[in-house]
């Protein structure tokens, strides 16, 4: 297993901007190949969705991918096994909702991630106040729990979230759900600045980062970007590993030029 | 007829047709107090949506109501009512196209609009303080009912207090009035969406409660003729009351609810909503059994049935009443 935070810190400290693409686990027959293509095209880490029936933080594109995955019989255990079988050379974070973690059990979930070589988890509907029972097991299994900061988060809370976030801090670019937008949220630079005031952990911007130009704008202040819906849409349209690699390559080139 | 003394708490007579108004007036006032100008709401049967639209009109707020597409079809008239009252109704095409999906969409709207919008949640569910707040805004049902029961029963409380449970707001309000009494509290769920009876602990929509779900934690779809009971969870306080034994939770089938709907129409000249028809159905079924002969029973009639008449006609014509 590759631990997420040291890996990202090392790359950032070399002056590299971080690219973290998102793929929904189990969304298509060839999703593991797509994941591998994303890695080969220049991702620094990947985020893999474990589908949930009620993904409240996600917009229509990722919702649809989740429905596809569930219709294809995806389960948390199967997605985790598939990730392990992909033998990726970069760190992996799973993104799912708390009920999936709760049903599996904190310890079992943390250990199964660890056993599969998955070094991080993002659980956006698990608030800071309720985090400890999961985080204790995740820490024990050396699974980093990435926390999110929103534009509406008061500064005192930003400090508490950043103190507890592992791997990186996920800066939510705008108030709203995941999905492609015409422009990068105007709040994103402010969120990143407020996170920087209280932590040295890498900061990646997500939610509505869809184009190479938006990725570059976000990376002007942040250490990196998370790109989900734009990539998942290409996979839903049947583009497969080639389309995934093409977009990731474009994003890579855009932020490498900086 | 049943060998029982049945008292009905007539929330069907509340303005806009159900107990839902008690809650939305309180939340609309809070919305103004917070300086916000818009409400979003979810609705199943449409009663909460109509109530929210009514309060929004009264208090000069904008109002957007999310409603599962399936529910907009079976509750067409309520959609039109909301629109007449100035609300925008957005059909939700995701998932089971019912109440749970409407809640998801309302939450997604709210996270993007929270600076000027209040989520006027319709039941005793969601994250704290919603379950508590909605129960307190609905406890007028139970407080009034207890006072009225004592007047009618010579200072006594009823032997049984019965209310239908979807998310559980009318039951929570009713039970709040009777929790300190000797009355036995019974919540009646739709057999196709009985989270208290068939659910297991889980976390959804910001609350930990009993949920219908599979082994992995995927939420299952509730299914009932009553759009207002089509929710795969119950409010967390109901889960607590069930665990503590202070209340018990029972089920009534679609066919039993339809029978009870017709029975009440003929016997009392009251068209109840299909939701409280489930509460009535349990009492009818259990009269002389779980509810001993001679008992006094309070049933909260949470809403009126005008909205359901077209659907009942179709169900009866299609033989969905089990005959």
Query: How many angstroms away from the CA of A60 is the closest CA of chain B?
Result: 9
CB contact under 8 A, B104 and A54: yes
Q: How far apart are CA A158 and CA A177, in angstroms?
A: 20
First-residue to last-residue Cα distance in chain A: 30
pLDDT at B323: 46
ipTM entry: 0.95
- Contacting B with CB below 8 Å, chain A residues are 52-54, 56-57, 59, 63, 67, 70, 75-77, 98-100, 102-104, 125, 152, 174-177
pLDDT at B175: 98
Phi, psi of A143 (to 5 degrees): -105, 120
Nearest CA in chain B to A76: B216
pLDDT at A3: 94
Query: Residue A215 pLDDT > 60, yes or no?
Result: yes
List of chain B residues with pLDDT < 70: 320-323
Q: State the best of A55, A63, A103 to mutate against chain B, taking most chain B CBs within 10 Å.
A: A103
User: Looking at the annotation, which residues of A are catalytic?
Assistant: 47, 58
CB contact under 8 A, A99 and B95: no
Side-chain half-sphere CA neighbours of B245 within 13 A: 0
pLDDT at B77: 87
Query: Residue A210 pLDDT > 80, yes or no?
Result: yes
Six token digits for residue A44: 């620094």
Q: Which whole number is the average pLDDT over A54-77?
A: 96
CB contact under 8 A, B217 and A103: yes
Q: Are B16 and B51 within 8 A, CB to CB?
A: yes
pLDDT at B320: 57
Q: How far apart are CA B242 and CA B238, in angstroms?
A: 6
CB contact under 8 A, B107 and A100: no
Burial of A2 (0-12, 13-18, 19+ CB in 10 A): middle
Q: Which whole number is the average pLDDT over A196-205?
A: 98
Between B78 and A111, the higher pLDDT residue: A111
Beta bridge partners of B163: B187
User: Looking at the annotation, which residues of B are catalytic?
Assistant: 20, 42, 302
Query: Residue A43 pLDDT > 90, yes or no?
Result: yes
CB contact under 8 A, A175 and B216: no
Q: Is the pTM of this model over 0.80?
A: yes
């Amino acid at each position: 297993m590759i631990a997420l935070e040291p890996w990202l810190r090392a790359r950032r400290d070399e002056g590299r901007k971080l690219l973290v693409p998102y793929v929904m686990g189990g969304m298509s027959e060839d999703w593991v190949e797509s994941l591998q293509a994303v890695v080969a095209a220049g991702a620094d880490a990947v985020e893999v969705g474990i589908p949930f029936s009620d993904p409240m933080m996600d917009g229509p594109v990722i919702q649809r991918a989740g429905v596809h995955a569930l219709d294809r019989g995806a389960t948390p255990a199967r997605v985790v096994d598939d990730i392990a079988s992909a033998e990726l050379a970069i760190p992996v974070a799973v993104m799912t909702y708390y009920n999936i973690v709760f049903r599996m059990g904190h310890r079992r979930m943390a250990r199964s991630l660890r056993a599969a070589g998955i070094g991080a988890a993002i659980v956006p509907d698990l608030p800071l106040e309720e985090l400890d029972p999961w985080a204790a097991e995740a820490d024990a299994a050396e699974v980093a729990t990435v926390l999110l900061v929103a534009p509406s988060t008061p500064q005192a809370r930003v400090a508490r979230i950043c103190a507890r976030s592992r791997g990186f801090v996920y800066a939510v670019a705008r108030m709203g759900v995941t999905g492609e937008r015409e422009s990068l949220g105007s709040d994103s630079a402010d969120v990143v600045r407020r996170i920087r005031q209280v932590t040295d952990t890498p900061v990646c911007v997500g939610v509505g980062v869809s184009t190479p130009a938006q990725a570059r704008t976000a990376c002007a202040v942040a250490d990196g970007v998370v790109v989900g819906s734009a990539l998942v849409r290409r996979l839903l349209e049947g583009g497969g590993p080639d389309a995934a690699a093409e977009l990731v390559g474009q994003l890579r080139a855009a932020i490498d030029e900086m | 007829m049943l060998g029982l003394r049945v008292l009905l708490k007539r929330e069907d007579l509340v303005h806009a047709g159900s107990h839902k108004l008690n809650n939305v007036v309180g939340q609309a006032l809070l919305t103004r107090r917070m300086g916000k100008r818009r409400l979003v709401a979810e609705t199943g049967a449409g009663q909460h949506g109509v109530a929210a639209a009514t309060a929004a009109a009264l208090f000069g707020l904008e109002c957007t109501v999310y409603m599962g597409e399936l529910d907009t079809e079976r509750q067409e008239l309520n959609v039109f009512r909301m629109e007449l009252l100035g609300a925008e109704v957005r059909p939700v095409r995701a998932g089971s196209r019912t109440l749970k999906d409407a809640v998801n969409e309302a939450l997604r709207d709210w996270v993007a609009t929270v600076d000027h919008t209040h989520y006027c949640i319709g039941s005793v569910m969601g994250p704290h303080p919603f379950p508590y707040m909605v129960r307190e805004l609905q406890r007028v049902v139970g407080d009034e009912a207890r006072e009225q029961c004592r007047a009618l029963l010579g200072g006594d409380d009823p032997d049984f207090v019965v209310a239908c449970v979807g998310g559980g707001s009318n039951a929570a309000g009713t039970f709040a009035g009777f929790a300190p009494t000797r009355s036995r509290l019974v919540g009646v769920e739709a057999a196709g969406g009985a989270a208290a009876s068939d659910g297991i602990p889980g976390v959804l929509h910001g609350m930990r409660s009993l949920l219908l779900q599979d082994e992995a934690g995927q939420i299952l779809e509730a299914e009932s003729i009553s759009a207002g009971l089509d929710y795969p969870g119950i409010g967390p306080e109901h889960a607590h009351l069930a665990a503590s034994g202070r209340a018990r939770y029972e089920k009534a089938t679609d066919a039993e609810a339809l029978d009870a709907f017709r029975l009440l129409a003929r016997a009392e000249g009251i068209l109840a909503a299909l939701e409280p028809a489930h509460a009535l159905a349990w009492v009818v079924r259990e009269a002389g059994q779980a509810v001993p002969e001679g008992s006094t029973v309070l049933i909260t009639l949470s809403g009126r049935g005008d909205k359901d008449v077209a659907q009942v006609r179709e169900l009866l014509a299609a033989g969905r009443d089990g005959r």
